[in-house]
Structure 1
Amino acid sequence: MTKTAWLFPGQGSQAIGMGVDLLDLPFAKVKFDQARQVLGWDVLEICQSQDDKVSRTLYTQPCLYVVESILADVLIERGNIPNLLAGHSLGEFVALYVSRVFDFDAGLRLVKRRAELMDSAFGGTMVALIGFNREQLEQQIETTPDVVLANDNSPNQVVISGTPEAVESVLAQIKVKRAVPLKVSGAFHSPLLAEAAAEFQEVLQAVPFANALFPVLSNVEPVPTVEAEVLKNRLERQMTGSVRWREISMQLPVEGIERVVEIGPGNVLTGLIKRMCPNLELQNVGKLADLPS
Structure 2
Amino acid sequence: MKTYMFPGQGSQSKGMGASLFDKFADLTEKADQILGYSIKALCLCDERNELNNTQFTQPALYVVNALSYFDKLQNDHTEPDYAIGHSLGEFNALLAAGCYDFDTGLQLVKKRGELMSQAPQGAMAAILNASKSEIESILEFHGLNNVDLANYNTPSQIVISGAQAEIIQAQQHFEDAGAIYYPLNTSGAFHSRFMQPASELFFDYLQGFTFSQPRFPVISNVTARPYESEDIVKNLCEQLKSCVYWSDGIEYLLNLNRDNGIPMDFEEIGHGEVLTKLLRTIKNKVPITEKSTSTESDPNKSNAATNTLIIDWNNQHPIGTKVNSIHAQFQQLETRSPAKALSENNAVVYMKGYYGYFSLDELIFE
- TM-score normalised by length of structure 2: 0.72
In the TM superposition, residue 54 of structure 1 has moved relative to its aligned partner by 1.0
In the TM superposition, residue 176 of structure 1 has moved relative to its aligned partner by 4.1
Which residue pairs with 1:216 in the alignment? 218
1:1-293, aligned counterparts within 5 Å?
Answer: 3-25=1-23, 28-47=24-43, 48-49=45-46, 52-78=49-75, 79-142=77-140, 143-174=143-174, 175-225=177-227, 227-256=228-257, 258-277=264-283
C-alpha distance 278-172 of structure 1, shift in aligned 2 (>3 A): closer
C-alpha distance 133-103 of structure 1, shift in aligned 2 (>3 A): closer
Aligned to 1:161, the other structure's residue is in SS state strand
Which residue pairs with 2:354 in the alignment? none
* Structure 2: runs of 5+ lacking an equivalent: 258-262, 289-366
Aligned partners of 2:42 and 2:51 also within 8 Å = yes
Structure 1 ranges of 4+ moved more than 4 A: none
Instruction: Report the Cα distance in structure 1 between the residues aligned to 2:215 and 2:131, rounded to whole angstroms.
Output: 40
Render the CA deviation track for 1:165-201: whole Å, top value 9, x for unaligned: 2223333333244211211110000011111111111
C-alpha distance 242-42 of structure 1, shift in aligned 2 (>3 A): same
- TM-score normalised by length of structure 1: 0.89
In the TM superposition, residue 245 of structure 1 has moved relative to its aligned partner by 0.7
C-alpha distance 137-23 of structure 1, shift in aligned 2 (>3 A): closer
Letter in 2 for 1:67: V
Render the CA deviation track for 1:207-259: whole Å, top value 9, x for unaligned: 1110001100000011123x311232211200000000110111122222521
Aligned partners of 1:16 and 1:52 also within 8 Å = no
C-alpha distance 124-176 of structure 1, shift in aligned 2 (>3 A): farther
Render the CA deviation track for 1:105-139: whole Å, top value 9, x for unaligned: 11111100110111122320001111225433111
Aligned partners of 2:131 and 2:155 also within 8 Å = no
Instruction: Report the Cα distance in structure 2 between the residues aligned to 1:35 and 1:237, rounded to whole angstroms.
Output: 26
In the TM superposition, residue 59 of structure 1 has moved relative to its aligned partner by 0.6
Instruction: Report the Cα distance in structure 1 between the residues aligned to 2:237 and 2:52, rounded to whole angstroms.
Output: 24
Instruction: Report the Cα distance in structure 1 between the residues aligned to 2:236 and 2:114, rounded to whole angstroms.
Output: 17
Query: Which piece of structure 1 moves more, 160-169 or 172-181?
Result: 172-181
Identity %, equivalent residues = 36
* Structure 1: runs of 5+ lacking an equivalent: 281-293
In the TM superposition, residue 21 of structure 1 has moved relative to its aligned partner by 1.4
Aligned to 1:255, the other structure's residue is in SS state helix
Aligned Cα root-mean-square deviation (Å)? 1.8
Instruction: Report the Cα distance in structure 1 between the residues aligned to 2:17 and 2:131, rounded to whole angstroms.
Output: 39
Aligned to 1:55, the other structure's residue is in SS state coil
Render the CA deviation track for 1:56-80: whole Å, top value 9, x for unaligned: 1111000000010011112123313
Instruction: Report the Cα distance in structure 2 between the residues aligned to 1:249 and 1:231, rounded to whole angstroms.
Output: 19
Number of equivalent positions: 275
Q: Which has the larger radius of gyration?
A: 2
Instruction: Report the Cα distance in structure 2 between the residues aligned to 1:233 and 1:133, rounded to whole angstroms.
Output: 29
Letter in 1 for 2:2: T
Letter in 1 for 2:236: L
Instruction: Report the Cα distance in structure 1 between the residues aligned to 2:178 and 2:225, rounded to whole angstroms.
Output: 31
Instruction: Report the Cα distance in structure 2 between the residues aligned to 1:255 and 1:154, rounded to whole angstroms.
Output: 18
